Chain A
Amino acid sequence: MKGDIKLRVSKIEKSFPGVKALDKIDFAVTKGTVHVLCGENGAGKSTLMKIINGIYQPDGGQIFIDEKPVKISNPIQARNLGISMIFQEMNYVPEMTVEENIFLGNLPVNKFGMVDWKKVRRHTEELLKAEGLPYSPTTLLKDLTVSDIQMLEIIKAISYKSDIIIMDEPTSAITLKEVHKLFEKIGQLKARGVSIIYISHKLDEIFQIADDITVFRDGTVVESHPKEELDIETVIALMVGRKLTNTYPKEEIELGEDILKVENFSSQNVYDNINFHVKSGEIVGFAGLMGAGRTEVMRSLFGLDPKSSGVVKIKGKEVNIKNVRQSIENGMVMLSEDRRRYGIIPMRSVKENTTLSYLKKVFYGFFLHSKVENDIVSNMFKRMKVKTPTIETPIASLSGGNQQKVLLAKWMIRNPDILILDEPTRGIDVGAKFEIYKLMTDLAREGKSVIMVSSELPELIGMCDRIYVMAKGNITGEIARKDFSQELIMKYATGNLTISGVK
């Protein structure tokens, strides 16, 4: 019965203290199709999904399944109605096994009320086999990689035999190969008549799998169309409410001397014999698959993790960086890939988060110099277009993009020579991405050196002057801007092509 409306919401409203998250949302999903939701952060997509999944209650409006009105008070009810959801933030218990996690909250019991572990084992083995996942039901979750766990979340949701599956950024942590596997899976599910609501920021991916696309902005539905009637440019324009003329504000800048030179950099079993250099005014990219060792190299360089050997030269002078303080003093700073874990102090104000990198600038003599601090922070926020109610607002209440800008501002007040940006645009919206690219260009123009580690090839290709590709702890390729192509990068990244003697 393709063509029938499976799920429909009508005039859904939801407010949080001080924010109208959803304003009279109308939206419908057809049976056996993939309906993609896109929109900037804070546009209301996840809130709507949480309402459909019973996590939030709407202030007004109605949900219909098969055109019958339903009330969904909690996720268990949602599951009974055939709705399951894959969250972008994975919920799992690291100390539990694969089978325990799959059946968490849903353990089958025998007639004595005891857990039927045999059944659990059998079902898990079947599921793992069907999906071609190579680990055993008794593996502990903490021993799996992030992408394995994400795949597990996906099969867990599928295992409920739902006919509406909500996927909130399912590909943010999995490898390209697994993305293909996921898309195949989605195809099979569609053929079975399952409806899929798919939230993603990755526009190229959206156009691969969508049947319909709905764009959200500021808690309202802007437009909803079949994929054929839209293109990437239009979707971006709808999302941000304006046309972005240039996705990558790249400028040709004359390069100066080598600022950073890394030679024979090694750490046992993590990465080996890493050699690279970055010039003044240059943006250098690091591409590679997850686990290639890019983040590990950068963390060692920045003094967060130890290295076993190697020489680092900054402006021609050999430096021995053993901790973050020494790195900062040598003019090298790093924005970490995991904003929540290594970035923000969630309950403290944006002001405190910003000046944390430069306390001696605001605390001198016997007192905190509030005015100096406020000026430094306000000026930097103005320059970086940080949107915050006040500078006393806790950083956790800002959107992801603004949090990222605050963290960048934290380093900018040190006026560094070398900026290492590890996945600087992960999980932030198009507008904020553009501003971060813009800032990178500005920095390059000022003669700074920028290293960008990213898993998104389009942004590496768009922004960098040169790209190093890593695979299995080694640099396998170095590509100049004129030779950039996704195919070439992927060849190096998968180890199908290597060059020797990288300079």
Chain B
Amino acid sequence: MQIKGNFWSTFKKRYSIYLVLLALSIVCSFANENFFTANNLTNISRQLAVTTILAFGETMLIIAGMLDLSAGSVLALSGVFGVSAYKATGSIMIAVLVAILTGVICNIINAGMISTFKAPPFIATLAMLTMARGVALLYTKGQNILKLDKLTILGQGSIGIIPIPIIFLVVVGIFTWYILNHTKLGRSLYAVGGNKEAAVASGINVPKVLYTVFIINGVLVGLAGILFMSRVNAGLPNGAVNYEFTALTAAIIGGTSFSGGIGTAGGTLAGAFIVGFLDNIMNLTGVDSYMQQIVRGAIIALAVIYDIYTKNRKTKAMLGKQDDADKTKVVKAS
């Protein structure tokens, strides 16, 4: 019986998010006949691509006990720079590289503030959020850059029947999964987010880990930037406002823990699609857009409460088992 109980609880813990996604898609299919069509699903994925790429970056950061509030602004800045580079050179390759480079530079500054100057991630990236948007507006004098010609292929084109943004989404997803599960960096991220001081005492090079994960985040943000501008066929210095929150939502719903040390690439992907499906079905069935916001907020609240509830139950069970295991002092500041 014991084994069965353990199996079920492990199963629930590991796969519940996918079951929720499955259940949601079944409900959506019944709610509207247009939901489960190749066309609609492709559209959802294409729309989700940009924010989900951001969400993969956020997932790696949150696992390491960090976060990036500047993602939306840096995305706009990267996109605008990338688009300008395209206008100047006509090369898609150079446009992508410039966008990625911009994302990386902004995130090296983020990492510097946090790792080297010990600023809290929330405040450091909040500062970057404001600065990056300012630079984007200053550089474009607040004007949109129009007519991107061939650059639109990134956001609107397809290879065969598969839209290019979806290809990017899949590649970034696999990349994130690979980093988290199959590299030293991934293990180190979990360790640093789980207990930074223990990671240091185990010989993990914490500054290197933090700089690396922010640089990776920068690459993803830059990539998302050029995809976004290319999809809307313009360089929008005012675009992608609040995208970081959409990305954070996907990560949270996908089971990434804000206390650090917990999260998966698959969970975040599922989280992004849960939000995407809900938005889509609400649009299809004509739910008021203000109402949609309320629903989205309620879902975040539910996800977090569920997370804390299961964690508490687990902690209580552990307390019972652990009993008086430790005399180590824990300061509980409330």
Contact = CB atoms under 8 A, between A and B. Distances in A.
B200 A345 contact: no
Contact of A325 (B190, B203, B319, B325): B203
A19 B190 contact: no
A397 B323 contact: no
B329 A400 contact: no
A42 B321 contact: yes
Given A21-B320, A352-B191, 17 more contacts: A18-B2, A18-B317, A45-B324, A88-B326, A201-B327, A324-B203, A339-B326, A345-B190, A345-B195, A346-B195, A355-B187, A356-B187, A356-B204, A363-B184, A389-B6, A403-B325, A426-B328
A344 B198 contact: yes
Interface stretch (A125-133, A168-176, A248-256): A168-176
Contact of A396 (B2, B262, B318): B318
28 contacts: A16-B320, A19-B320, A19-B321, A21-B323, A41-B324, A42-B323, A46-B324, A90-B329, A90-B330, A93-B333, A168-B324, A169-B324, A324-B202, A325-B203, A336-B201, A340-B328, A342-B198, A343-B201, A345-B195, A352-B190, A356-B202, A356-B204, A366-B182, A368-B182, A389-B6, A397-B314, A399-B322, A399-B325
A360 B205 CA distance: 13
A229 B35 CA distance: 78
A204 interface: no
A21 B333 contact: no
Interface string A88-120: 111111110000000000000000000000000
A16 B326 contact: no
For the complex of A and B, the 9 pairs showing the least CB-CB separation, nearest first, are A400-B325, A16-B320, A427-B327, A345-B194, A46-B324, A172-B327, A359-B184, A324-B203, A342-B201
Given A18-B5, A325-B203, A345-B194, A397 B321 contact: yes
A348 B261 contact: yes
Contacts of A360: 184
Contacts, number: 167
B316 interface: yes
A16 B187 contact: no
Contact of B199 (A92, A356, A367, A397): A356
A172 B5 CA distance: 37
B317 A19 contact: yes
Interface string B174-217: 00000001111001101100110111111111000000000000
Contacts of A428: 325
Nearest to B10: A392
Chain A CB within 10 Å — which of B199, B203, B204, B262 has the most?
B203
A199 interface: yes
B328 A338 contact: yes
B334 interface: yes
A41 B325 contact: yes
A410 B6 CA distance: 26
Interface string A407-426: 00010000000000000001
Nearest to A19: B321
A134 interface: no
A293 interface: no
A143 to B, nearest CB: 13
Chain B CB within 10 Å — which of A16, A21, A339, A343 has the most?
A16
B182 A427 contact: no
A14 interface: yes
Secondary structure at the B interface, as helix, strand, loop or mixed, is helix
A346 B327 contact: no
B38 interface: no
A181 to B, nearest CB: 19
B291 interface: no
A348 B194 contact: yes
Interface string B268-296: 00000000000000000000000000000
Contacts of B261: 345-348
A341 B198 contact: yes
A288 interface: no
A42 B190 contact: no
Contacts of A328: 203
A75 B327 CA distance: 21
A348 B320 contact: no
B194 A346 contact: yes
Interface in A115-174: 146, 168-169, 172-173
A471 to B, nearest CB: 23
A21 B195 contact: no
B330 A42 contact: no
A376 B181 CA distance: 18
Nearest to A92: B331
Nearest to B314: A397
A347 B333 contact: no
B328 A42 contact: no
Contacts of A46: 323-324
B206 to A, nearest CB: 10
A14 B317 CA distance: 11
A112 B63 CA distance: 49
Contacts of A399: 321-323, 325
Nearest to B192: A345
A290 to B, nearest CB: 12
B328 A356 contact: no
B208 to A, nearest CB: 10
A411 B326 CA distance: 21
A399 B324 CA distance: 9
A334 interface: yes
A357 B203 contact: yes
B190 A397 contact: no
Chain A CB within 10 Å — which of B6, B181, B190, B195 has the most?
B195
Interface string B300-327: 0000000000000110111111111111
B322 A400 contact: yes
Contacts of B314: 397
B332 interface: yes
Contacts of A440: none
A458 B108 CA distance: 53
Contacts of A327: 203
